[in-house]
Amino acid sequence: MVDILHFLGAAMLFVVCAQLGLLALASVRRYVHTARIQSLEVADFEERIARTHVIRKSEEAHGAPWSGWRKFEVTQTVDECGGVKSFYLRAHDQKPIPGFLPGQFLTFQLDIPGQQKKIVRCYSLSDCPRDDHYRVTIKRLPEGLVSGFFHDHVKEGSILDIKAPSGGFFLDTNKETPVVLIGGGVGITPLLSMLNSVVESKSPRKVWLFFGVRNSDEHIMKAHLDQIAREYSQVELRVCYSQPLAADVLGRDYHHGERISLKAIKAELGTSNYDFFICGSAPMMKTVIDGLRDWGVPETKIRREAFGPASVKKPAPTKGVSVVFARSDKKILWSGEEQSLLDLAEAQKIATIDASGCHAGSCGTCKTAIKSGKVTYNQDPGADIEEGSCLTCICVPETDLVLDA
């Protein structure tokens, strides 16, 4: 009898200890998870502060940006390859133009016949800073309103309204740490600016460029890239063709007969100790970024630029909160189906939010004041955003929300 009581006592003690152990383990896990998120947030915050500092220093050194719209004249257009054209732009007032950080973009406002309002789009600067002109390189998209307008109607002598260079995706040219640039298709444009800046400044910085396209028909600035790889020993160029043409030669035109893959990147680099800059299609960016994370590359060393709404990550499906458009006198229950507050505003025909912009968090056109509540961003804002406002094209409500719209 005594043995049985001993046994039962020991068993109960074991169960209690096991439960306490599990509880303690769960608390430790929660603590580690929270600490990890907090340290990521701190790292992200510090990174943003550092980036702002670099932008301010660059403005001091290379001239402050103009505010609002400034007129530029197209001085030259160049066909780069199938469906991709470069546009050279000189300030119409002939006054000096400020420099920029390689990777930044220009914002254009266009008056397109048949459109009720002016349309805004962003295009990356595709060359390093020059004294007297900027260059952008634009791919024509099927049915694309602005890219089609550029290709069909913007010619030498055209005058365009442009906002000063901006954006948080840039190469800090004061550093000499090795970098890996990974570009898909026209996503090479900001990376070209980075590459050109490194070699023209005679920096010894090591640069790897992985460039993925379908085949030689889409190989933007092939001759220029080949020349840089030949002339500068610090530059390693690796071109990936996913669908090489019969005339494309492995080893001459391209190095990997596949899409850009992390397997190829890892095999070429050997170590992950680089700063990575990525710009391309949404699937390419997702594959590469997930792979880099798995490889142990810290989040702060992975910089990315999304070119448009198709590249924007789907937000976490917040549901059941309400969104009030105060000036339009509308209250809507957020179903979690729209990708952004701007999508919701467009669906509800809210005219007080301007939907003619980039839809990618870059141009600031959709900026709206928040009267109460909180939003969550589904990608890093590229445009400046002050406390109390939000870029509706890349955020969703986190709590009940009242917008001044």
Question: Which residues of the chain form contacts with ligand FAD (CB under 6 A)?
Answer: 105, 121-124, 136-139, 141-148, 167, 186, 189, 305, 307-308, 358, 360, 362, 382
Tokens matching residue 400: 């009940």
Tokens matching residue 264: 């190829």
Decide whether 85 or 163 has the Cβ nearer to ligand FES: 163
Q: Does 163 bind ligand FES (CB under 6 A)?
A: no
Tokens matching residue 55: 């932008």
**Hey, what amino acid is at 207?**
V
Tokens matching residue 94: 């002939």
Decide whether 181 or 366 has the Cβ nearer to ligand FES: 366
Span interacting with ligand FES, options 227-235, 279-287, 305-313, 358-366, rule CB under 6 A:
358-366
Residue of 194, 353, 393, 395 that binds ligand FES (CB under 6 A): 393
DSSP state of 138: E
From ligand FAD, ligand FES, none, which one binds at residue 123 (CB under 5 to 8 Å depending on kind)? ligand FAD
Distance of closest approach, residue 46 Cβ to ligand FES, in angstroms: 24
* CA gap 381, 397 in Å, rounded: 15
Count of residues engaged in binding ligand FES, rule: CB under 6 A: 12
**Hey, what amino acid is at 363?**
C
Residues of 65-99 as b/e, b for ≥16 C-beta within 10 angstroms? bbeeebebbbeebeebeebbbbbbbebeeeeebeb
Residue of 281, 359, 396, 403 that binds ligand FES (CB under 6 A): 359
CA dihedral of residues 76, 77, 79, 85 (deg, nearest 10): 140
Decide whether 148 or 178 has the Cβ nearer to ligand FAD: 148
Decide whether 189 or 365 has the Cβ nearer to ligand FES: 365
DSSP state of 167: -
Evaluate whether 108 touches 162 at the Cβ level (below 8 Å).
Answer: yes
Instruction: Count Cβ atoms below 10 Å from residue 274 Cβ, excluding itself.
Output: 19
Tokens matching residue 61: 């050194």
β-pair partners for 375: 397
Evaluate whether 385 touches 366 at the Cβ level (below 8 Å).
Answer: no
Please, which of residues 363-392 interact with ligand FES by CB under 6 A? 363-366, 383, 391
Q: Does 357 bind ligand FES (CB under 6 A)?
A: yes
From ligand FAD, ligand FES, none, which one binds at residue 215 (CB under 5 to 8 Å depending on kind)? none
Distance of closest approach, residue 342 Cβ to ligand FES, in angstroms: 6
Distance of closest approach, residue 309 Cβ to ligand FES, in angstroms: 9
Decide whether 161 or 226 has the Cβ nearer to ligand FES: 161
From ligand FES, ligand FAD, none, which one binds at residue 254 (CB under 5 to 8 Å depending on kind)? none
From ligand FES, ligand FAD, none, which one binds at residue 383 (CB under 5 to 8 Å depending on kind)? ligand FES
Distance of closest approach, residue 227 Cβ to ligand FES, in angstroms: 36
Q: Does 361 bind ligand FES (CB under 6 A)?
A: yes
HSE at residue 34, side-chain half, CA atoms within 13 A, is 6
From ligand FES, ligand FAD, none, which one binds at residue 260 (CB under 5 to 8 Å depending on kind)? none
Distance of closest approach, residue 366 Cβ to ligand FES, in angstroms: 3
Element (H, E) at 277: strand 275-279
Distance of closest approach, residue 293 Cβ to ligand FES, in angstroms: 26
Q: Does 128 bind ligand FES (CB under 6 A)?
A: no
Tokens matching residue 316: 């976490």
By beta-carbon distance, which residue lies closest to ligand FES? 357
Evaluate whether 137 touches 86 at the Cβ level (below 8 Å).
Answer: yes
CA distances from 218 to 82, 247, 331 (A): 6, 14, 47
Binding site for ligand FES (CB under 6 A): 357-359, 361-366, 383, 391, 393
